[in-house]
Structure 1
Amino acid sequence: MGSRVLRGQRRLLSITKWKRTIDGVAWRGQTSSFSAGSGGRIESRVLDHLKKHYFEASKMQPPPKINPPKPFAVIKGSLDSSGPVLSRNYNQEEIKITVSRLADLGETDNGDDSNEENINQLFLIVVIAKGDKGPALQFLCDLYPDAMGIQSVSLTERENLSIRTMFLPKGYQGPDFRDLDRELQKAFRIYLEERGINEELFPFLQAWLYVKEHRHLMRWLKTVGTFISNQTVPGSS
């Protein structure tokens, strides 16, 4: 992944950190449309900071456009959903890949969100289905710039295939992958490799997550600002 993408992601992560912790420092600027009461002053301060971060985020340069490795294709609408990002067919199989950051799932021990190591750790849900019905094979994987590891392998009903149900699984989810015979572990890695699921996916998925996170941040800043600036409280009349 190019240094330009990593620099952009560090800037994005530094901007998003302020959403989780709002300190009590004196903020500059006031919004004249608010009343002189303390409530109006607080709203004005929040809006000033929202505007500041919105304009700062809007100046960020997107990473260079990267296409996924062939024959994977981007699923339409994936930037605005929490579902799969990539899909492809392999013989009679349909393969879909969902991606997120390990840090977003609480899977890392380091609490510093700006740490480059956290930026370079992705989490994949790989689903391999055959036909229109029946269970699907699900792999939970860690993805890095130069490696990919498997966490677990399970046969899962299709209605349970999502990030939400992954944390509340139904039925037996298979053994800890580390407890499997080494030869079987190797065979599963080759199984995924034959389907193009390896570290070569990292550059595209890293750039794709950057674009998605930036889009969601801009939308969040705008919608929260719009809500706060609306002085009409529903049901107050």
Structure 2
Amino acid sequence: MWKRVFTSGSVSGALHPRRTLATGRSSSVSSAVDSILLRSLKEHYLEVSKMTPPPKVNPPSEFKIVKGALDNNGPVLRRSYGDEEISISVMRLANFLPGGDGDDEDGINQLFLHVDISKPGREDCLNFLCGLYPDAMGIHSVSMRPKLGSSQSLRIPSKYQGPAFQDLEEKMKDVLHGYIEERGVSESLFPFLQAWLYVKDHRNLMRWFKTVGTFINERKPV
């Protein structure tokens, strides 16, 4: 049920033809349409609220979940490594790439990570963009960028981001993989991050039904 809802783009998983209404509707027709929409929103809200969440998964023991991460687009996990701080943000790869198809089985098995490695006294950090899968992790790019606050959203850097990762020599690629794996960034994060995204999607979907319903139902004061 969780997979069907969050990969179909529709709660029911089916498309329905749109019924058009004549322009210049009377207030009674408008009220009837509002009532139908509100009833539909409520039904879907109740359906989603009854969904059974995935089994609880904990992150690897060295990582801590960032407080409030479910309600923003900032880092999800954080850990210390010596004097370094490692922060990880995540999104679905299918939602990040143009033309991504969420209906594909791989749509829920491809995650996109922003890994920030920062050191005290520096205003910038080393950033890895990675593709994460159930059994593998690949690096897309490595760059320097300004540090992010704990609740800040991801932003696109404006400075030169270095060479394309695929253009680096194989030895350097291997060393960079070893560098972040030494800091705990590997496919071992996948089970937790996938489950975490399901919970976040569920919360966002519930909030959407509720806020849209509140807006439709709101009446102007007489």
TM-score in terms of structure 1 length: 0.83
Pick the aligned partner of 1:210 from 186, 198, 210. Answer: 198
The residue number in structure 1 matching 2:23 is: none
Equivalent in the alignment of 1:14: 8
CA positional deviation for 1:187: 0.5
Mapped partners of 1:91, 1:164: distance in 2 = 25
Secondary structure of the 2:155 match is helix
Matched, 1:81 2:72: yes
Aligned length: 215
Identity across matched positions, percent: 48
Partners of 1:104 and 1:190 in 2: how far apart?
Answer: 28
Q: Does 1:228 align with 2:216?
A: yes
Q: Do residues 45 (structure 1) and 36 (structure 2) align?
A: yes
2:79 aligned with 1:92: no
Partner residue of 2:136 out of 139, 142, 147: 147
Unmatched 5+ residue regions in structure 1? 1-6, 27-34
Q: CA deviation at 1:160?
A: 9.6
* Alignment partner, residue 69 of structure 1: 60
Q: CA deviation at 1:123?
A: 0.4
Determine whether 1:185 maps to 2:176: no
> What is the aligned counterpart of 1:129 among 118, 124, 127?
118
Which residue identity is paired with 1:128? I
Shift of 1:39: 1.4
RMSD across aligned C-alpha pairs, in angstroms? 2.5
Deviation at 1:11, TM superposition (A): 2.9
**1:171, CA displacement in angstroms?**
0.9
Q: How far has the Cα of 1:46 moved from its partner?
A: 1.4
3-state secondary structure, aligned to 1:60: coil
Say which SS state the counterpart of residue 57 (structure 1) adopts.
helix
Runs of 5+ unmatched residues, structure 2: 21-25
**1:103 and 2:103 correspond:** no
196-205 or 129-138: bigger deviation: 129-138
Question: CA offset at residue 9 of structure 1?
Answer: 2.3
Paired residue secondary structure (1:24): coil
Q: Secondary structure at the match of 1:224?
A: helix
Deviation at 1:154, TM superposition (A): 0.3
TM-score (norm 2): 0.88
